[in-house]
């Protein structure tokens, strides 16, 4: 009976082509193989976002008069509402973290070499989409933090030459951040961005499946020596156990540190002390804080870092087409050093941005301890000294 149903479906859907493909798929094994799990982890958090997001939509009301109260209702009255919303917030942060970690590892392993340029470009677009999700979702609880973050974030678009003022009005749905902005952000957060993300995500995953995992140049010999792992079931099961672990971590974080709601947005109140955006925007926030007021040749100083960040985003997408060295030999010291510099800049600025909460010496000492730990574990994991 089951076999007949299977063959009936197979005739119509061609399932055997997929299972045939999956049964042959392997994952190379070498000392950096662990980084292959980061993308799957990001996917897991994305799926959690879809599920919890759909659930929150059952009670959330996207209007300036009701948004805050409806989230309050979810947090205090709806059974397990606090859990669902806290998981949605925590998972959002972890998704950004793993997406960035995935990108950083792919960058340093030069996995964007031919024929995987479009896998990288689609991944970079997905990272921007995730940040778009983060930014648009941030406004939805309609609290003070959301209000100011959106005021600043949309005002930044104004520095773009020629179309800037139009973009600000387009983003805000008017001249100011108000109820109209909330309607737009809600629509983007639950409809437009998910639709675009789904398409690009499918392309990204299909490319990963078709092209397989890239082996970093320094590991080529090692991965020839060690037998590859079968994707199904060995790699998939490892992925799955990671996902179950992640679900446990999410539940624990949501239960121990439920996401706070803050105070309802007041369009006529000053920004409160120590206001700052989510951690993944802090490096840009801190940079903007450091640039003094003034203008040069009709361009305000603040526009310069904003345009540089925009250019850096474009550069990120185009890396595979610009890094000629990696394309030829699999190695490119200049790009590696550039990546390290960019990472140090972002990390440094982020720490600086939080320095008003933590004394600077705590940040410095913990940084020192972490690098020491990294140095020691590197030595022990690599006894041949390679």
Partner 1 sequence: MDGSTPLPRRRFLNWFLGTSFGALVAAVIYPIARFASPPRIPEATTNSVEAGDVSDAAFAQKGFKIVRFGAEPVILLKASEGEYRAFSATCTHLDCIVGYQKDRSRIFCNCHGGAYDLNGRNVSGPPPRPLTAYKVNLVAKGSEPAKIVVSKV
384 forms part of the interface with partner 1 (CB under 8 A)? no
300 forms part of the interface with partner 1 (CB under 8 A)? yes
Binding mask 236-275 for partner 1 (x = CB under 8 A): -------------------------------xxxxxxxxx
- In the complex, least distance from residue 157 CB atom to partner 1, rounded to whole angstroms: 11
295 forms part of the interface with partner 1 (CB under 8 A)? yes
218 burial level (CB within 10 Å; 0-12, 13-18, 19+): middle
- Find the binder of partner 1 among 37, 46, 135, 148 (CB under 8 A): 148
- 179-183: list long-range contacts, CB under 8 Å, 24+ apart: 179/63, 179/64, 179/65, 181/139, 181/150, 181/154, 182/62, 182/63, 182/64, 182/67, 182/139, 182/140, 182/142, 183/62, 183/63
360 forms part of the interface with partner 1 (CB under 8 A)? no
- Find the binder of partner 1 among 8, 257, 301, 321 (CB under 8 A): 301
- In the complex, least distance from residue 292 CB atom to partner 1, rounded to whole angstroms: 6
Token duo for residue 279: 């951690």
Q: Considering beta carbons, is residue 268 or 375 the nearer one to partner 1?
A: 268
CA distances from 172 to 152, 179, 230 (A): 11, 9, 50
Q: Considering beta carbons, is residue 173 or 330 the nearer one to partner 1?
A: 173
* Secondary structure of 150-219 in HEC code, one letter for each residue: HHHHHHHHHHCCCCHHHHHHHHHCCCCCCHHHHHHHHHHHHHHHHHHHHHHHHHHHHHHHHHCCCCCHHH
Per CB under 8 A, contacts with partner 1 among 156-185 are 156, 166, 169-170, 172-174, 176, 180
CA distances from 368 to 153, 363, 364 (A): 33, 9, 6
The piece of 3-11, 98-106, 292-300, 329-337 that touches partner 1 (CB under 8 A) is 292-300
- In the complex, least distance from residue 272 CB atom to partner 1, rounded to whole angstroms: 6
Task: Enumerate binding residues for partner 1 (CB under 8 A).
Answer: 148, 151-152, 154-156, 166, 169-170, 172-174, 176, 180, 267-275, 285, 288-295, 300-302
């Amino acid at each position: 009976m089951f076999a007949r149903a299977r063959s009936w479906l197979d005739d119509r859907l061609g399932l055997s082509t997929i299972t045939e493909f999956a049964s042959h798929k392997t994952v190379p094994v070498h000392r950096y193989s662990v980084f292959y799990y980061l993308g799957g982890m990001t996917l897991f958090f994305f799926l959690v976002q879809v599920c919890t997001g759909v659930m929150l939509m059952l009670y959330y009301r996207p209007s300036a008069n009701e948004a805050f109260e409806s989230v309050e209702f979810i947090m205090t009255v709806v059974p397990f509402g606090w859990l669902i919303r806290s998981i949605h917030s925590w998972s959002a942060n972890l998704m950004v973290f793993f997406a960035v970690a995935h990108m950083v590892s792919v960058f340093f392993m030069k996995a964007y070499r031919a024929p995987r340029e479009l896998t990288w470009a689609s991944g970079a677009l997905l990272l921007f989409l995730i940040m778009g999700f983060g930014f648009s979702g941030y406004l939805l609880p309609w609290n003070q933090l959301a209000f100011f973050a959106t005021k600043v974030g949309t005002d930044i678009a104004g520095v773009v030459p020629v179309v800037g003022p139009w973009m600000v009005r387009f983003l805000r749905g008017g001249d100011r951040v108000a109820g109209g902005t909330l309607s737009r952000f809600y629509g983007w957060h639950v409809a437009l961005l998910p639709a675009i993300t789904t398409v690009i995500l499918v392309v990204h995953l299909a490319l990963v499946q078709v092209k397989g995992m890239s082996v970093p140049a320094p590991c080529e010999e090692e991965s020839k020596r060690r037998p590859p792992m079968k994707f199904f079931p060995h790699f998939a099961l490892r992925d799955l156990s990671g996902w179950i672990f992640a679900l446990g971590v999410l539940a624990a974080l949501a239960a121990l540190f439920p996401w706070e709601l803050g105070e309802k947005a007041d369009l006529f109140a000053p920004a409160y002390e120590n206001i700052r955006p989510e951690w993944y925007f802090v490096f840009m926030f801190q940079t903007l804080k450091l640039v003094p007021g003034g203008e040069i040749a009709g361009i305000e100083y603040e526009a310069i870092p904003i345009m540089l960040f925009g250019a850096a985003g474009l550069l990120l997408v185009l890396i595979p087409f610009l890094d000629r060295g990696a394309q030829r030999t699999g190695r490119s010291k200049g790009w590696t050093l550039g990546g390290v510099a960019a990472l140090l800049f972002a990390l440094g600025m982020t720490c600086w941005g939080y320095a008003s909460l933590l004394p600077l010496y705590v940040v410095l000492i913990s940084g020192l301890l972490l690098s020491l730990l990294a140095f020691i574990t590197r030595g022990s994991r690599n006894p041949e000294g390679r």
